[in-house]
Structure 1
């Protein structure tokens, strides 16, 4: 089984509560974050600030990834294909017994 090449993280600088910090995320997460912010009528920076205020002890990059995952799970209508199908996640997962299946 060949694996897709790892994608490099994109580091961006944001202002949170008056302090500048940098956040490193994969390009796909930046794109998803922009889509979510636009749908909510807010800036990416404002959305990151809201995520930051709710993240607890989790690091900011991880908190953003978990937020994006949750947002896409929440928006999925029952008639839509699962997120895993849309994202190509879980394809070719090995089942116990040696068979291959799409998850």
Structure 2
């Protein structure tokens, strides 16, 4: 596993090896994306390789890394449904997501 930094993988990206549909490949994604994917694996009681293989089987011509990111967003959007949303301004859910994803310096 590569660390974070401004090296070959770009700023803030982690490179990890996974086995996807029986073949070894490496994926470069942000730590927050890796954490989210790990959480989904734990919730669904599936390994990282199993989740990535399932996404790979369905992605068609799309890039695997992009497909994983879209899957994560879709998973959590489906999980929350309409809970946490407010018509009277930013919801606590929005504030928390923004704080987690885009911290203020």
Q: How does 1:28-43 map to 2 (within 5 A)?
A: 28-43=32-47
Q: 2:48 aligns with which of 10, 19, 44?
A: 44
Q: Deviation at 1:34?
A: 0.5
- Residue 97 of structure 2 corresponds to which residue in structure 1? 87
User: Quick check: 1:76 aligned with 2:86?
Assistant: no
For normalisation by structure 1, the TM-score amounts to 0.72
- Residue 4 of structure 2 corresponds to which residue in structure 1? none
Q: Deviation at 1:84?
A: 3.7
Distance 1:40 1:31 in 2: 14
Q: Deviation at 1:61?
A: 0.6
Distance 1:53 1:84 in 2: 32
- Segments of structure 2 that go 5 or more residues without pairing to the other structure are 1-9, 86-90
Distance 1:7 1:79 in 2: 34
Structure with the largest fraction of strand: 1
- Residue 14 of structure 2 corresponds to which residue in structure 1? 10
- Segments of structure 1 that go 5 or more residues without pairing to the other structure are 1-5, 92-103
Aligned residue-pair number: 85
Structure with the largest fraction of helix: 2
For normalisation by structure 2, the TM-score amounts to 0.71
* Higher Rg of the two aligned structures: 1
User: Quick check: 1:19 aligned with 2:29?
Assistant: no
Matched residue SS, 2:15? strand
Distance 2:11 2:97 in 1: 15
